[in-house]
Amino acid sequence: MTSPASSSEVKYLIESSEGNTFDVSGAALRQSNTFNAMFLNIGADGPIPFTDYNEATLKKVFEYCEHSVNEENYSGPKHQDDLSKWDLNFFNEMDQKMFIDVINASNFLDIERLTSYCCERIARMLRGKNTQEMIKVITLPTAEELEAKQKVEEKKAAAAKKVAEKAAETAEKTETLEELPVQQLVQTTRNKLTRKYLSFSNE
Amino acid sequence: MATRNGFKLLKLPFLAIEQVFLYLEILEIIDISLCSKRCKNVVKRNRATPATYINIEFSREHGVDVCSVDNKKAVATWNFSNTNMGNRKKMWWSIDGAEGYTLKNINSQNIRNGFYQCCTPSRQIAASMNTVISHLLEVLRNCYVKHVNINMHYERVAYKTLLDLLKTCESLEMISDGSSDHTKHVLSSIKITKTFNDKSYLYSSANPFLGALECTDHINCDNASWMRAETLLTLNCEYVELKKARLTAEDIMEYLKKWKNSTGMGRVRKLNIMHTAVGIGPLDFEELGAMRWDPVKRAAMYRLHDGLYIMCNNGMDIERADGLLATIVQHETRGFFFLVWADRFPDQTFPYGAILL
């Protein structure tokens, strides 16, 4: 179970967002500065909750940590060209969602080596691109897409306006229809009263 | 993987985005800032953007260079002219109405340089330049305007739009025919911190500039007829060269007295004033407490700059309370010199090919 001992044999239990737990070696966990700051010295009583991240992501992150246990201490960013075959496979296996989750988790756990490799990988996608190409890479809508979107929105607004106008027109018509008999009634009453008054005054 | 379908950069935590920026060059960071308003804000917040400066050319050509402070090389060049976009939509960029296209190249020293062509009608060039410069100053942390070059022969009025934006620059060079108070307008609009080089050549003094000049390194005016005592007395600049000046002997006496009685003005090394007429007239050396040359106190030859020396054995010396010594020389053709001896006995070897005044 969990223990503050520094031996690499010691296993820690990690709890994911699904509530599942799994083992990670102390040596792997110690690559996380967040873990070092929070648990290493005081120890963890029960599973360590990293409940903002799902099991798959955490397993992927700690898979990397377990693999790089025997590598020398991290001493600044390394170029992708210098990555081992294992590292390259590790990155290539991930889909985009997983990649983002791994960066998020790695960033939270403050695993310098993994975060820096991931970030360098992203930087590689952007290098040498012009603005339009970058928009595509970072999947922002292009100017044409924005234009098309704006047109659709304008059309929608125009249609909504038409509907509103029609509704207003119909309301006006109903109003006049409702108003007519009242007006007529008032008029007829007035006429009657005038006639009565006249007949009285004649008498 | 992520490369095939693109990557939602803005979904990352900001600290991770900052780390991505660490692997990018200034050029790419600028490009990201052009992608969208959110991207612009992300770049603006990035604390690790390398330090840069901007050089501005406002003459026959209109351009802005973004240079890296590290290696002094231009990393992005913006050119402004009335050109068509043509079929370059794939390279399109836009900032608040200013738009154009980008070309990138890698030079012989393997330095990536971006060339941004801003397609703008001739009348709106200054406005487009303002838009681009504002954007760059906003998104690039630690970016400042280093050098501004304005040629009023081509732009007699439009440069004013540019100066409305620029509040300060390190050095400014201007060329004007001097007929429209250009110097006065420039000096009133922008604070120049290091070097001012005014190549206005016509003689016009109807409208003098009376403000302060805060340059610390160089002031060089081909036509300094606009300068009055008010401005002269504000100078604390290493090298000052004023041609076609209208300063009187009284003005210069005031300056010399100020220098002598001051503990400041420590930057002053050389002041050279040339007049259109004969000279500034006699100075009251007695009032200044000036003494003739004493070979024990200082050397005879003063180095003005590389290849140009002046013999000061006929000069008059004034010494401050703090021990700083200066020599006043009135040269027949080169006018009035006020020379401060940072080193009283510099190397007196006269190099081959040098000129001695």
Q: For residue B78, which residues of chain A lie inside 8 Å, CB to CB?
A: none
Segment 27-46 of chain B within 8 Å of chain A by CB: 28, 31-32, 34-36, 39
Token couple for A66:
């377990």
Nearest to B31 among A118, A123, A131 (CB): A131
pLDDT, position A2: 45
Tokens 């990155």 locate to: A91
CA-nearest residue to B2 within chain A is A96
Residue A5 lies in a domain: no
- pLDDT band for A168, please (50, 70, 90 cuts): confident
Nearest to B9 among A104, A138, A143 (CB): A138
DSSP string, B75-86: EEEEEEES---T
Mean pLDDT of A104-110: 90
Angle between helices A85-92 and A55-67 (to 10 degrees): 170
CA-nearest residue to A90 within chain B is B1
- pLDDT band for A1, please (50, 70, 90 cuts): very low
Is A121 an 8 Å CB contact of chain B?
A: yes
- The answer to whether B12 contacts A128, with C-beta atoms less than 8 Å apart, is no
Task: Give the mutation candidate from A130, A136, A142 for the B interface (greatest B CB count, under 10 A).
Answer: A130
Q: Are residues A45 and A131 both part of a single domain?
A: yes
Residue A110 lies in a domain: yes
Q: For residue A134, which residues of chain B lie inside 8 Å, CB to CB?
A: 28, 31-32, 35
Q: Are residues A121 and A99 both part of a single domain?
A: yes
pLDDT, position B133: 93
Q: Are residues A37 and A121 both part of a single domain?
A: yes
pLDDT, position B1: 46
- Please give the Cα distance from B12 to A98 (Å, whole number): 12
- The answer to whether B32 contacts A126, with C-beta atoms less than 8 Å apart, is yes
Who wins on pLDDT, B128 or A189? B128
Across B42-51, B178-187, B299-308, the highest mean pLDDT is recorded for B42-51
Q: Are residues A42 and A119 both part of a single domain?
A: yes
Residue A1 lies in a domain: no
Token couple for A202:
């004649």
Q: For residue A94, which residues of chain B lie inside 8 Å, CB to CB?
A: 1-2
Which of A113, A137, A161 is the last residue before a domain boundary? A137
Segment 155-194 of chain A within 8 Å of chain B by CB: none
pTM: 0.78
- pLDDT band for A3, please (50, 70, 90 cuts): very low
Q: Give CA separation, A51 vs A21, A42, A57, A99, A105, in Å.
A: 10, 20, 11, 18, 11
Please provide the average confidence, as pLDDT, over all residues in chain B.
Answer: 85
Mean pLDDT of B166-180: 85
Residue A2 lies in a domain: no
- pLDDT band for B91, please (50, 70, 90 cuts): confident
Lowest mean pLDDT among A69-78, B249-258, B264-273: A69-78
Mean pLDDT of A126-135: 84
Does the structure show a pLDDT above 70 at A24?
Answer: yes
Residue A6 lies in a domain: no
Who wins on pLDDT, B123 or A61? A61
Q: What is the per-residue pLDDT across B151-165, written as a single tens digit (0 to 9) for each? A: 888 777 788 888 888
- The answer to whether A130 contacts B102, with C-beta atoms less than 8 Å apart, is yes
Q: What is the per-residue pLDDT across B306-357, written as a single tens digit (0 to 9) for each? A: 788 888 888 899 999 888 999 998 887 788 899 999 888 887 787 787 787 8
Lowest mean pLDDT among A30-34, A109-113, A167-171: A167-171
Q: Are residues A19 and A115 both part of a single domain?
A: yes
Q: CB pairs below 8 Å between A and B: how many?
A: 121
- The answer to whether A134 contacts B32, with C-beta atoms less than 8 Å apart, is yes
Is residue A53 within 8 Å of A90, Cβ to Cβ? no
Is B111 an 8 Å CB contact of chain A?
A: no
- The answer to whether B20 contacts A123, with C-beta atoms less than 8 Å apart, is yes
Nearest to B16 among A77, A119, A127 (CB): A119
Total domain count for chain A?
2
Is B10 an 8 Å CB contact of chain A?
A: yes
Q: Are residues A37 and A66 both part of a single domain?
A: yes
Output the furthest CA–CA distance in chain A (Å, rounded): 124
Residue A41 lies in a domain: yes
Is the confidence metric ipTM above 0.85 for this complex? Answer: no
Q: Are residues A125 and A51 both part of a single domain?
A: yes
CATH of the domain at A120: 3.30.710.10
Q: Are residues A65 and A129 both part of a single domain?
A: yes
Q: Are residues A92 and A27 both part of a single domain?
A: yes
Q: Are residues A54 and A93 both part of a single domain?
A: yes
Q: Are residues A112 and A195 both part of a single domain?
A: no
**Any idea what DSSP says for residue A141?**
P
Does the structure show a pLDDT above 90 at B111?
Answer: no
Is A63 an 8 Å CB contact of chain B?
A: no
Q: For residue A138, which residues of chain B lie inside 8 Å, CB to CB?
A: 6-10, 32, 35, 39
Residue A3 lies in a domain: no
- Please give the Cα distance from B71 to A14 (Å, whole number): 48
- pLDDT band for B112, please (50, 70, 90 cuts): low
* Percentage of residues in chain A having pLDDT higher than 90: 4
Who wins on pLDDT, A92 or B155? A92
- pLDDT band for B138, please (50, 70, 90 cuts): very high
Q: For residue B114, which residues of chain A lie inside 8 Å, CB to CB?
A: 130
Does the structure show a pLDDT above 60 at A180?
Answer: no
CA-nearest residue to A136 within chain B is B6
Which of A112, A137, A162 is the last residue before a domain boundary? A137
Domain that holds residue A170: 149-203
Which of A100, A116, A137 is the last residue before a domain boundary? A137
Who wins on pLDDT, B7 or B59? B59
Q: Are residues A159 and A116 both part of a single domain?
A: no
Residue A142 lies in a domain: no
Q: Give CA separation, A15 vs A2, A98, B127, B166, B275, in Å.
A: 12, 18, 58, 56, 85
Does the structure show a pLDDT above 70 at B34?
Answer: yes
